[in-house]
Structures are given as C-alpha cells and as structure tokens.
Amino acid sequence: MQATSGRKSGLGIALASALAFGGSGVAAKPLIEAGLDPLHVVWLRVTGAALVMLPLAWRHRDLVRRKPVLLLGFGLLAVAGVQAFYFASISRIPVGVALLVEYLGPALVLGWIRFVQRRPVTRAAAVGVVLAVTGLACVVEVWAGLSFDVLGLLLALGAACCQACYFLLADHGSGDEETRADPLGVIAYGLLVGAAVLTIVARPWTMDAGLLGGTVTMGGSEVQAWLLLGWVVLIATVFAYVTGVVSVRKLSPQVAGVVACLEAVVATVLAWVLLREHLSLPQIVGGALVLTGAFIAQSQAPKAPSGPVASGGDVRAGDPAGSRDAVHAGDPAPAGLRPGAEGELSAGRSGA
C-alpha cells in the first residue's frame, strides 16, 4: 500500500516538474519580445536560481574539491549552453518547435557513438534516430522549403548539441556512496558556474532593467514583467529541479524520464493557448515522432567502454536522458535540466 501511494505521489511530483519546466519558454518569450536580449533573460534566470540555491551549494561545498570537472561541464553545457541557445532560438521560432529540436540530443549521442566512436548500437536505437529525424522533418515542414527561420532552427540545434555533449560527459559523479555526487549539490554549483559564465557573455550591465518594472504582452493580454521573471526563476528552475529529483527518488529514472517527455507537450500546448503559436497537424504528428524517437534512443544507448572520457574522474556515456549511476545530461535542463535518481542527475532540459 505504501509503495503504491509512493508511486502515485511520485507521478504527481514528476508531472508537476514537467509542467514547471515546460512553462519556462512560454514565460520567457514575452520578455524577449518586449526588448530584453535572450542572453539577459537567461542570465536573470540562472543567476536568480543560483542565489536561491546558494545554501545548497554551501552545504555541498566538498564537491568543488571532489568533482570540479563535473561541475564545470554541467555549468558550461547543461546550464549556460543549453539555455542560452534555447532562449535565443525561441526569440525567432515557436517555443514548441525549439523544444522539439532540442529533443534530438539523444539521437545525436547515438550518432556520435556509432560513427565517431565506431561502437555498435542496437537496431531499436537506430529506429529511434530515424523516427526522431523524420519527426523533425515534419516539424519544420521541409516540403514547404524550410518555412521556419533557419537561424532559429540552428540555435535550437545548438541547444541539442550542448545537451548531447553533456550526455557524453555524463556519469562523471558515479561511484560508491562515499564518492557519489549529490544531484542537488551539482545543480546548485552548475547554476553558479553558469551564472559566472553568462555574466561575462551576456554583460548584464548593458540590460535595460527598466523593462522588468513594466508590463509585457502575452497572447494579447498585459502581464507584469516581474511576475513572468519570477515564474522563470522560482517555478521553472528551482521548483522544477527540486521536484524532478524528488520524483525520481519516489519512482525510477526510467519512469520519471517518460513523464519528463511531457515537457515538450506542455510547452507546445501552453504556447498554443497563451502565445497563440499554432502548429499544423503534420507538425503535431512530427512532434510525436520526435518524442517517440528520443525516448527509444535514450533507452537504448549502450554503455561506454571503460576508461575516462574527460580528465578528472570516471566518465561514461550511458543512457543520455534516462538512468545513470550518477549525474546525467536534457530541459533540455534545462535546457533545459532533468534531475535523475538519488545520487543522479539528468541534465538537458531547457527548463531549460
């Protein structure tokens, strides 16, 4: 009875996490359209969340000594990279399209494993990649001569590439109970690293902060800018990360990963309702193919051979968005970022 109750509560928490992550782009886009640079919005999001998570960073300060490469990789790729590319892309293309392109991350990982590392992949994994690519072709409606902004699509693909790069450096925090990296600590330091990098890149001192005190247009209605920013920082980042970790501890990385795929659905529906970004039937079918292909690809990724991929500790390329021994990469964490099991972390959601 307790196990059943735990699973039900876990599913509810996982759904809440997906809803929170899925709403980030919808809340951020009106701020960007009002005149804020996408990089400034990302900086506000990451820096605000980093300040809220600062007590956790202090609690897990030993990670700086034990897992420096992991923290740098997570902050640079899963936080700064994924989110900067994602927010830049939604300034040019619909939120749902950008997020669906980002979901190509697991397929890119498998392509790297097969053609660069020259390691075999399963037939099911290959089918997942084909489905994802086919779905993407439908999403961008290639038969219409790529009707979407090409730069916007390339930016979304950049988010997927950052996600994939972090996948390949994942499991860096693996090990026994004594050496395993706590996921909340990794999130906290990843946000701090991301905030530091984005401060240099975004140059927030050039931001027109006065826009945050006014109203912005959201689907024809006027909304206070600071309310949207508060949602992006507190709900779509801090709340989403923490509930994601809790949900996987109650469920499993695989089950929570399936629920996390609802992030793209939530983002598309919210953009449809709140931003009036409508998708055609072929695009909806294509989105379903992308999600199906990404799910198959992430569940079929083979384990990497033994040996470090990056200096500073053991790194294995495992399941790119599902179960791993320690810290994983896709939000897109955020882009996206998706917390994994206890002692684990899946990053790559746009939350990202």
pLDDT tens track for 94-124: 888 888 888 787 778 778 877 887 888 788 8
Angle at 90 between CA 79 and CA 107, to 5 degrees: 60
Q: Which of 111, 114, 156, 112 is nearest to 129 (CA)?
A: 111
Name the band, by pLDDT with cuts 50, 70 and 90, for residue 341: very low
For 19-59, write each residue's pLDDT tens digit: 888 889 999 999 999 999 999 999 999 999 999 999 999 99
**pTM attached to this predicted model:** 0.75
For residue 339, the model assigns a pLDDT of: 34
Question: Is the predicted pLDDT of residue 222 greater than 90, yes or no?
Answer: yes
For residue 73, the model assigns a pLDDT of: 87
| Dist. CA 34–CA 241, nearest whole Å | 27
Residues 6+ apart with CB under 8 A from 245: 183, 184, 187, 339, 340, 342, 345
For 135-181, write each residue's pLDDT tens digit: 877 887 766 655 678 899 899 999 989 888 877 765 444 444 555 67
Which sequence spans correspond to the domains of the chain? 22-299
For residue 216, the model assigns a pLDDT of: 94
Helix (H) or strand (E) holding 319: none
Query: With contact defined as beta carbons under 8 Å apart, do 309 and 292 qualify?
Result: no
For residue 289, the model assigns a pLDDT of: 85
pLDDT-above-70 percentage for the chain: 73
Question: Is the predicted pLDDT of residue 347 greater than 50, yes or no?
Answer: no
Residues 6+ apart with CB under 8 A from 25: 86, 87, 90, 95, 98, 99, 267, 271, 350
For residue 324, the model assigns a pLDDT of: 32
Mean residue pLDDT of the chain comes to: 77
Residues 6+ apart with CB under 8 A from 232: 24, 27, 28, 31, 41, 44, 45
The DSSP string of 267-288 is: HHHHHHHHS-----HHHHHHHH
For residue 287, the model assigns a pLDDT of: 83
| Dist. CA 235–CA 220, nearest whole Å | 23
β-partners of residue 348 are: 330
- For residue 184, the Cα-to-chain-centroid distance in whole angstroms is 15
For residue 203, the model assigns a pLDDT of: 94
| Dist. CA 72–CA 274, nearest whole Å | 36
